[in-house]
Chain A
């Protein structure tokens, strides 16, 4: 049978009732020039043909030795993570529509929220968002709803924040009358300096975004930046790598004000590093946490623990009154896709590793990156760009354009890092490199050797 729910007769009947002549009539209000037109989609394929095509495509990627991070990180994923996540009981990307009938799924999300609160030092977490970049866009929108002492709808966006995130925030929030003001980074340290914010003191800004570690892998002086924001009635949006939080101060404790740190107001980021494979860019998941004070402005679903009429413990969706199925266009978000399956994997990953295991992953990644920078720094024509302490990523400066060098490395099965020429031309021949716990000493040596040879060959050819 055809897996199409409506026969031509059904469709004709329904069109007749609403007085439309064709399905095309229903799209009349969309101007013709905004339509996609004819899509160039190939003919249907059999399962065997599809499997073969996918196999061929996967082979093109190969199994390179990967030293690129820049927002997506290659960590070891223990085998039980996906063995458990793909069990029939869990294998869905969505919170069920009859949510309370699925107590197991709700409990898992509740545990996830609890773990994210513990990691970030915040009071409440949602059940996840689409990805890290859109989570930041949502955080900006949330800040505008929440910061009642600001009317400017202006947000300070340091250039050391992942430029893709800044671009997505601009695309989503920029179209809602919110503007972003860039804040430069220090060329020597590779981080955002308080001095760069001071010219904005006393002005009306809604929020300041601080990424820790920042896009260059450098550690920002988060306490000083947080205090500056709060002293100026500006909300602090923290963008963090959850793995790094096993070692670094949680955003809920940022700031050093007298009388106890207020901490970040909204924390968001990309959750992929917690047990989700790179998968050529997705699916990943975004996370968001905040303080109770702002919970009603937080987008996405929240699972709460409660008791039933007989006093037995159970889980339910809570604070749904501002979600899109009720508030429609005035909902806190209309993109709050829940990446439930990725969250399932992340929850299992965090459960398996525990706080000490996650700290060991973070520690090993930091050490491997230190080893990598030391090894590559010995190569003629390569030096480290910045002086600020790093986590598991750093910027190198080459004495020639990285593009050709990276191509030579790729031919040897090594992805040598991200060329920053396009995003940060002012840095010159800059290359962003990353090593996690998955890179052993031999891998780092192989990269250093290949880089030295590629640089030498390039010099000889010049």
Chain B
């Protein structure tokens, strides 16, 4: 099973990742997707539904749906914030999420006023341990 866990991201128990945008993106912008483990467990995705730009999300709110031939699963927003972008490319090419879950397969970007809540989000090593524990 595919299980790439980049060290520079934060993770949730429901298998989302969060990237703190830097470079060209303004401060406070977060990019969110689902992990390599999650895409691998779901199998070939046939449809991805992303939240509309402008929608305000609370932490833990179901806001996207990833659908494979086997199942449709909710994606939960790891933090509260306002959606400022979504990945429109997934509408025509859901396989982008299977091929590149941490890059071209991103789901949406949030403008979040608070900082990342360290307690609720895991580091790469903590997520790796969590996966090991979950698979027992």
Contacts and interface: CB of A to CB of B under 8 A. Distances in A.
A321 B52 contact: no
Contacts of A327: 71-72
Interface string A322-335: 10001100100000
Interface stretch (B2-10, B32-40, B62-70, B92-100): B62-70
A187 interface: no
A326 B70 contact: yes
Contacts of B70: 321, 326
A277 B72 CA distance: 39
State the majority secondary structure of interface residues on A: helix
Interface in A103-122: none
State the majority secondary structure of interface residues on B: strand
A321 B74 CA distance: 12
Contacts of A326: 70-72
A202 B49 CA distance: 27
Interface in A306-365: 321-322, 326-327, 330
Q: What range describes how many residues of A lie at the interface?
A: under 10
B47 interface: yes
Interface string B40-75: 000000110100100000000000000111111010
Contacts of B68: 321
Nearest to B42: A321
Nearest to A296: B47
A6 interface: no
Nearest to B62: A330
B52 A322 contact: no
B74 A330 contact: yes
Contacts of A296: 47, 49, 67
A148 interface: yes
A176 to B, nearest CB: 15
Given A296-B49, A321-B72, A326-B70, 9 more contacts: A148-B52, A321-B69, A321-B70, A321-B71, A322-B67, A322-B72, A327-B71, A327-B72, A330-B74
